[in-house]
Chains A and B, each alone.
Chain A
Amino acid sequence: MPELETLPEVKAALPPDEPEFQQKEMLLNIGPAHPAMHGIIRIQTKLEGELVVESDVEIGYLHRAFEKSCEESTWNQAIIYTDRLNYVSAPINNIGYCLAVEKLLGIELPPRGQYIRTLLCEIARISDHLTCVGASAMELGGFTVFLYMIKGREYLWELIEEYCGARVTTMTSRVGGMPYDLPEGWLDKCTWVVKEIREILNECDILLTNNRIFVERMENIGVMSAERAIAWGWTGPCLRGSGVAYDVRKDFPYLVYDQLDWEVPIGRRGDNLDRYLVRMEEMEQSCRIIEQCVAKIPGGPVNCDNKKVVLPDKKDTYGNIEGLMNHFKLIMYGHGIRVPEGEVYFPVEGGNGELGYYIVSHPDEHSKDGCNDRAWRVRCRPPCLPMVAGLHEMINNYMIADIVPTFGSVNMIGGELDR
């Protein structure tokens, strides 16, 4: 780092008694509204030339009272708020929330429902990673990669759209079941999409992994050691990039992940390149999971056989009085799903790491049966908050231009960060 010197003609023009005019450090605000800040976040940096010597990250620009809103709505109504947490992989958020409430109720989906959920989770994970890698590549000048990857994401979102009618805010799950069975021909389309995704990954791998410009911007930049990553509470691809093989799907299996054959990729150095490579390999592993699910998915019912939780079929609601009453009992204010008092923590592997729901059911003063039709507290453990909290350790002592790839590799999602 060469010493900075003020030019002699500038020095002569400066008032001699005011040393602040001659300081070498400069404060620079990046964001909150900056194209490379993916959403809204503000990084205050102290620069010495182009070197970042100190930085402070400020969040909260997208806070919209997710947890308060969940307390005010019934168990099923809250699912729609979970869509907005990680809006790139909404099905994982929906399904994670439903799994937590189901754990509190002590119910489990039949195998077909679990396979459908696994399929949707992996489709969402690939779309999350595609967005992250594509956007980071674009910021380093690889616009082609961005277009290829968004094309792949489009195929995946078409699959999700065919299943539930929405692309981004999906609301694909309900407490105790899934809203629909799979449409006809959906599994064949899944196989076709996996083939297309593999081709896109291969193309992007050729474009990026041996690309000198890309590798030199990523390698040994934004290094995070395994110990510091654990201390900062990192999970997901970023922690695995630092060399810690922790994946909720492997270590605390849920749905059908323990019945499938797949691997957890890890990095060695904990730099941007490792995080990129881990994400690329994870997409391949997700493709494998999807293929196995398509091959193994059993027939049978999708929803739990529990009339106190799952709405009856429409033919029963409109066809007989029992079905109609059952429907009303689950929809009417003050009735609904009655969840007994208790608390659970349920972690799932989100696109960015451990997405945990800590849900408390506690009877309010109107409750006569010790249950409640809405959550007392829904806490979402956001996977990308720890990464953003530790971000300053990754950008300090690097060049200012390195903030962009480092920040891109963290994959900050404003929706789940600020809730």
Chain B
Amino acid sequence: MSKFPEHIAIEKANPTAVLDWHERFGDRTLIVEAKQIVEVVRTLKDAFGYDMLVDLTCVDYLPRRPRFEMVYHFLNVESKARLRVKAQLEESHARVASLMEFYPIADWFEREVWDLFGIKFEGHTNLKRIMLYEEFEGHPLRKDYPKTKRQPLMGPQN
């Protein structure tokens, strides 16, 4: 299997950025260093025209380490090329740079990941819960959050 052109270009700019790649089920995937996600996305957007962030989400692989995996799906609307980029995060350092400066839609997608997984996004200007309410305790899509857990009833403060 030969490397994707995106892979070669990213390696040229940041030799340590790409950790692994595969093309299983026909989905081209790069696994990159989480700390260098901003440089990787800059290359993808400027040199390869990935102008749409189709999806941004997270997967919790408890008890595996590293525990979390950020998953980005990019699309070049002109050439219809798709690329998936993944970055693994340790539970003790569950934070990654925000992509708001590249894609405005990252604002809401990242708020959702913060809300449901508790991943912090550095550089996000408005990181607050989006699906749940502010007083909600915990992050429900984490694997150690039981489905049947009850939340304290919220009412007016006074």
Q: Using a CB–CB distance below 8 Å, which chain A residues touch chain B?
A: 59-60, 63, 65, 67-69, 72, 103-104, 230-233, 235, 244, 246, 251-252, 342-345, 347, 354, 356, 358, 360, 362, 376-377, 379, 381, 385-386, 389-390, 418-419
Minimal Cβ-Cβ distance residue in B for A106: B25
Do A381 and B55 touch across chains, with their CB atoms under 8 A apart? yes
Determine the distance from Cα of A127 to Cα of B52 in the docked complex, in whole angstroms: 28
Given contacts A233-B103, A376-B59, are A252 and B80 in contact (CB under 8 A)? yes
User: Is B144 at the interface (CB under 8 A from chain A)?
Assistant: no
Contact for B55 among A59, A104, A232, A356, CB less than 8 A = A356
Total residues of chain B contacting the partner, CB 8 A: 32
Do A59 and B130 touch across chains, with their CB atoms under 8 A apart? yes
Do B132 and A63 touch across chains, with their CB atoms under 8 A apart? yes
Contact for B84 among A60, A342, A345, CB less than 8 A = A345
Do A379 and B130 touch across chains, with their CB atoms under 8 A apart? no
Do B53 and A233 touch across chains, with their CB atoms under 8 A apart? yes
Contact for B131 among A69, A235, A343, A418, CB less than 8 A = A418
Query: In the complex, which residues of chain A have a beta carbon less than 8 angstroms from the beta carbon of B59?
Result: 360, 376-377
Determine the distance from Cα of A360 to Cα of B130 in the docked complex, in whole angstroms: 24
Do A356 and B105 touch across chains, with their CB atoms under 8 A apart? no
Q: Using a CB–CB distance below 8 Å, which chain B residues touch chain A?
A: 24-25, 27, 51-55, 57, 59-61, 71, 73, 77, 80, 82, 84, 103-105, 107-108, 116, 129-133, 140-141, 147
Minimal Cβ-Cβ distance residue in B for A386: B105
Given contacts A65-B140, A377-B59, are A390 and B80 in contact (CB under 8 A)? no
If A356-B73, A377-B59 are given as contacts, then 20 extra A-B residue pairs at C-beta distance below 8 Å, sorted by A number, are A60-B129, A60-B130, A60-B133, A67-B116, A68-B140, A68-B147, A230-B77, A233-B103, A343-B24, A343-B27, A344-B25, A344-B27, A345-B84, A356-B54, A376-B59, A376-B61, A377-B60, A381-B54, A381-B55, A389-B107
Given contacts A67-B141, A68-B141, are A379 and B25 in contact (CB under 8 A)? no
Q: List 19 A-B contacts (CB under 8 A).
A: A60-B129, A60-B130, A63-B131, A65-B140, A65-B147, A68-B141, A230-B52, A233-B52, A233-B53, A233-B54, A342-B24, A342-B25, A343-B24, A362-B61, A377-B60, A381-B55, A385-B108, A389-B108, A390-B104
Name A's interface SS.
Answer: mixed
Do B147 and A345 touch across chains, with their CB atoms under 8 A apart? no
**In the complex, what's the smallest C-beta–C-beta distance from B129 to chain A, in angstroms?**
8
Query: In the complex, which residues of chain B have a beta carbon less than 8 angstroms from the beta carbon of A68?
Result: 140-141, 147
**In the complex, what's the smallest C-beta–C-beta distance from B15 to chain A, in angstroms?**
27
Do A72 and B147 touch across chains, with their CB atoms under 8 A apart? yes
Given contacts A342-B24, A358-B71, are A232 and B105 in contact (CB under 8 A)? yes
Do B84 and A69 touch across chains, with their CB atoms under 8 A apart? no
Minimal Cβ-Cβ distance residue in B for A250: B80
Query: In the complex, which residues of chain B have a beta carbon less than 8 angstroms from the beta carbon of A379?
Result: 55, 57, 71
Do A345 and B73 touch across chains, with their CB atoms under 8 A apart? yes
Do A354 and B54 touch across chains, with their CB atoms under 8 A apart? yes
Query: In the complex, which residues of chain A have a beta carbon less than 8 angstroms from the beta carbon of B57?
Result: 358, 379
Query: In the complex, which residues of chain B have a beta carbon less than 8 angstroms from the beta carbon of A104?
Result: 25
Determine the distance from Cα of A251 to Cα of B25 in the docked complex, in whole angstroms: 18
Determine the distance from Cα of A358 to Cα of B132 in the docked complex, in whole angstroms: 22
Determine the distance from Cα of A251 to Cα of B79 in the docked complex, in whole angstroms: 10
Query: In the complex, which residues of chain B have a beta carbon less than 8 angstroms from the beta carbon of A252?
Result: 80, 82
Do A69 and B147 touch across chains, with their CB atoms under 8 A apart? yes
